[in-house]
Structure 1
C-alpha cells in the first residue's frame, strides 16, 4: 500500500533476479508479473530481491485461491449501495484513479463481504489506471463518522490485504475532516502501517486553508466534488448510475458479467451467517476501542516486517 517514485528501469537487474527465483509460472500468474509489477514488490521491500520474491509468491498464491479477478459487480452490489467506496468519475492532476471512501456509510455486517468488496474496488481501480500510472488516490470523507464505524477485525484484514497484495498502489490518502476522536486512534494504529504508507496520509480540514492546499495541489477544483470543497456538484454518488458504470466495466474488461468464482455462490445472508462465528471476538475488540483501551486490542495486530 505504500508508494514511492521508483521506476521499473531502476530495478532492471533485480527484476531479472526475481524472475529467476520465481521460476516457470502458469500463464495466468505471469499476467501479474510484469516488470512494473515486480518493481512495485521490490520497492515495497526496499530493493531486497529475496524478500520481494517471497512477497510476490504469496500474492500469486492468494490470487490463485481468492480469485479477485473473478469478482463481478452483481456479487458485491449490495455492499456498494450506500457509496461507502466508489471510483470517482475524475482523476487527480497526475491522472491517477480516485477511490472515494465514506466510513460512516457502512451498511453491512459481513466481514468477508466487506473485504471482497474492497478487493473488487481495488481491482477495478487498477484496471482503470492509465498506461503511465501505477498508483491511485484515496479520498476518505469522515462526515457523520463516529467510533462505532470502526471494526478492528476489518481494519486489520484491510491493512493486510492492501499492504501484502497491492504494494505501491497508494499515491496519496486524503483524510477529509476526521473528527478529534479519530486522531488518537490513528496515532495508535500508525506503528502497524508501513512508514512509506504513513507518509502518504494527509489530514485535511475544510476550515484550514493550509491543509486545503493539499487538495488544490492534487486536484482540478472544477472537477472535485463539492463534498471535498470542489465545484463539481454532479460528481456525487448515485447507486443506479454507478451500477451501470460497473456493469459496463465488467463487460469491457472481462467480456461478460457472469459471476464465476465459487465463493460468489454464497448469498450475502450466507456470508453474514458464516461470519457470525467470529463476531463475538470482533465485538470484544471493538468495545476496547470505545472504552479507550485500544492498545491491548492492537497487540493482536501483526507488525510490519522489518525492511532490509
Structure 2
C-alpha cells in the first residue's frame, strides 16, 4: 500500500537548493551573526544557541530576515507557553503507563534520537495535556544538543489505528508546533503499518505539512522487502524493537524510563 503525496506546489524547493549550496560553514556563521544583530536586544540567549539559529535559517531558506521573524514568533510563544519549564512529573502518570509516546533508549545508525508514538493507544489525558507531552518530548530531544539539525527520527506505529484515534484538529496543532517552533529537528518520520483508512486522513493532514518535512516521511510496512531495507539501513537491528522488525525484545520499562526523564529534567535545571 502506498499513499499519494499532496498535490500542493513547492515554490521554495529551487530557492532552498540554491541556498543550500551557498551555506558553507563560514557563511552560516555570518548569517547566524546577522540574525543575532537583527534580534537585538538579545532574545532568550539560553534558548538561541548557534545550532537553534541555524535550524531556523535552514527552515527559512537561509534568509536572515525570514529566520529572524520566525525566531521572534517562537520567542513570543516560549514566553507564553514556557516549554522549558515542563517537567516529566507535570504529565499525569497514567499516560506514561500506556506507553503511547516515549523516547527510545537507542539511537539510529547516525546517532539520532528516536521518538516512538503509538496513536492507536487511547490517551489517558486531555488534548491540552497531550500537546504538553509533545512539547516536553521535543524539549527533551533538543536539550544539550550541540547540533539539533535533523537530530530526531520519529516512528509512529499505526497498527490498530482508526479515524477516531487522532483528531485532525489536534494533529494540525501538533504539526504547527513541530514546524513553527522546532523547525529542522526531524530527520525522518516513519509511518509504520498505516491501515487503508489512513489514506483519507493523510490526504487532509499532508495539506498542512511543509514540503521540506513531507519529503522526510517514509511509509513502512511489515513483511515488505523495501520497508525492511529502509529499517535495516537506518537502525541497528539488534537494538531496534522487535515490533518494528528489529531483534530487541526489551521494550520500554516505564519505571526506568521515568527515572531517565527525571534525570534529564535535573540536568536541564528543573526540580
TM-score range, shorter chain: 0.7 to 0.9
For 1:233, which of 249, 257, 261 is the aligned residue? 249
Q: 1:9 to 1:119 in 2, by over 3 A?
A: farther
**Residue 13 of structure 2 aligns with which residue?**
none
Q: 1:179 to 1:111 in 2, by over 3 A?
A: same
Cα distance in structure 1, aligned partners of 2:267 and 2:67: 32
**Residue 188 of structure 1 aligns with which residue?**
204
How far is the alpha carbon of 1:7 from its aligned partner? 6.8
Cα distance in structure 2, aligned partners of 1:106 and 1:128: 32
Q: 3-state DSSP class of the match of 1:105?
A: coil
Q: Which moved more, 1:204-213 or 1:119-128?
A: 119-128
Cα contact 2:28–2:54 (8 A) shared by 1: yes
RMSD: 2.0
Q: Which runs of 5+ in 1 are unaligned?
A: 258-308
How far is the alpha carbon of 1:83 from its aligned partner? 1.2
How far is the alpha carbon of 1:10 from its aligned partner? 4.2
Q: 3-state DSSP class of the match of 1:220?
A: coil
Cα contact 1:18–1:50 (8 A) shared by 2: yes
Cα distance in structure 1, aligned partners of 2:263 and 2:249: 23
Cα contact 1:7–1:39 (8 A) shared by 2: no
**Residue 97 of structure 1 aligns with which residue?**
113
Q: 3-state DSSP class of the match of 2:229?
A: helix
Q: 3-state DSSP class of the match of 2:218?
A: strand
Q: 3-state DSSP class of the match of 1:212?
A: helix
Q: Does 1:19 align with 2:33?
A: no
How far is the alpha carbon of 1:80 from its aligned partner? 2.3
**Residue 120 of structure 1 aligns with which residue?**
136
**Residue 176 of structure 1 aligns with which residue?**
192
Q: 3-state DSSP class of the match of 2:268?
A: helix
Q: 1:63 to 1:133 in 2, by over 3 A?
A: closer
Cα distance in structure 1, aligned partners of 2:238 and 2:232: 10
Count, aligned residues: 250
TM-score (norm 1): 0.76
Q: Does 1:142 align with 2:158?
A: yes
State the Cα deviation string for residues 29-58 of structure 1 (Å, max 9, x = none). 012222221111111111122111010001
Q: Which runs of 4+ in 1 moved over 4 A?
A: 3-10
Q: Which gives a bigger RCO, structure 1 or 2 (Cα 8 Å, sep 6+)?
A: 1
Cα distance in structure 2, aligned partners of 1:9 and 1:206: 44
Q: 3-state DSSP class of the match of 1:30?
A: coil
Cα distance in structure 1, aligned partners of 2:147 and 2:176: 26
State the Cα deviation string for residues 251-294 of structure 1 (Å, max 9, x = none). 2332x53xxxxxxxxxxxxxxxxxxxxxxxxxxxxxxxxxxxxx
For 2:259, which of 238, 244, 262 is the aligned residue? 244
Q: 3-state DSSP class of the match of 2:160?
A: coil
Cα distance in structure 1, aligned partners of 2:181 and 2:196: 31
How far is the alpha carbon of 1:82 from its aligned partner? 1.2
**Residue 6 of structure 2 aligns with which residue?**
none
